[in-house]
Amino acid sequence: MRNASIDVLRKIGVDTGGSNVQFAINPDNGKMVVIEMNPRVSRSSALASKATGFPIAKVASKLAVGYTLDELRNEITQGIIPASFEPTIDYTVVKIPRFAFEKFPNTNDRLTTQMKSVGEVMAIGRCFTEALLKAISGLEYEVNGLEPWDGIEKSPKGNLKQKLKMLAQKNVVFG
C-alpha cells in the first residue's frame, strides 16, 4: 500500500506536502483499488497524526514554506531522527463514526454517501479485534462488544439479513 500510495501521488503530480490515499481491498482475491486521494491535509491526516504521533499538518506546513524533510527533526524522537524517517508502529488503530440520530428524530438514519456522523471514536489495540472492541465501547451505544443489541436476537433471520443490507449506525455491533 505504501508503494501504491507513492505511485498515485507521483502520477497526480504531488511532490511535497500532506496527502492521503485510501484503498479498498477485495478479501477474496486481494485486489486493491484506490477509493479516495486527498492532495492536502484532511481529517484522515488528523487521524493518522493521532495514530502515529507524527505531526503531519505541522510538517506539511513547513514543507510548504520551503523546508525539506531532512532539515526537519522528528519531535517524537526528541529531534534525534529527521522527519524523513517514516514512523513505525506495532499496534492497530480503528476509527468508527459516531451517530446521534436520537437527537435528530426527523432525520432518516439510513446511511448513504451523505455525511451524517456527529463525530468519531478512535481506539488503539495490539490487534484489530482489541482496537475494534475498544472503539465500540467508546461509541457509548450501551452494547457489550459484538453482542446483539436491543431486539436483534428476536428478529426473524430474513429480517436480520435485510437489516444488514441497509447501512445503519449500529451495523458494526450485529453479532
Please state the domain count of the chain. Answer: 2
Predicted confidence (pLDDT) per residue in 89-106, tens digit: 889 999 888 888 888 888
Q: What is the per-residue pLDDT for 150?
A: 57
Between the alpha carbon of residue 115 and those of residues 85, 130, 173, the distances in Å are 35, 27, 20
Q: What is the DSSP string of 59-109?
A: HHHHHHTT--TTTSB-GGGTTSSBTTSPP--SSEEEEEEE--GGGSTTS--
Between the alpha carbon of residue 15 and those of residues 31, 39, 56, 76, the distances in Å are 26, 10, 15, 24
Domain hosting 38: range is: 2-77
Q: What does residue 139 show for φ and ψ, rounded to 5 degrees? A: -70, -20
Do residues 167 and 107 share a domain?
yes
Predicted confidence (pLDDT) per residue in 20-75, tens digit: 899 999 989 999 999 989 888 877 788 888 888 888 888 888 888 988 888 888 77
Q: What is the per-residue pLDDT for 68?
A: 86
Do residues 52 and 96 share a domain?
no
Q: What does residue 85 show for φ and ψ, rounded to 5 degrees? A: -80, 130
Place 107 in a pLDDT band, splitting at 50, 70 and 90. Answer: confident
Write down the pTM of the prediction.
Answer: 0.66
Q: What is the per-residue pLDDT for 89?
A: 83
Q: Which residue has the higher pLDDT, 41 or 133?
A: 133
Residue 116 lies in a domain: yes
Note every long-range contact of 97-104, with CB atoms under 8 Å and residues 24 or more positions apart, other chains counting. Answer: 98/139, 99/169, 101/169
Do residues 99 and 68 share a domain?
no
Q: Which residue has the higher pLDDT, 60 or 127?
A: 127
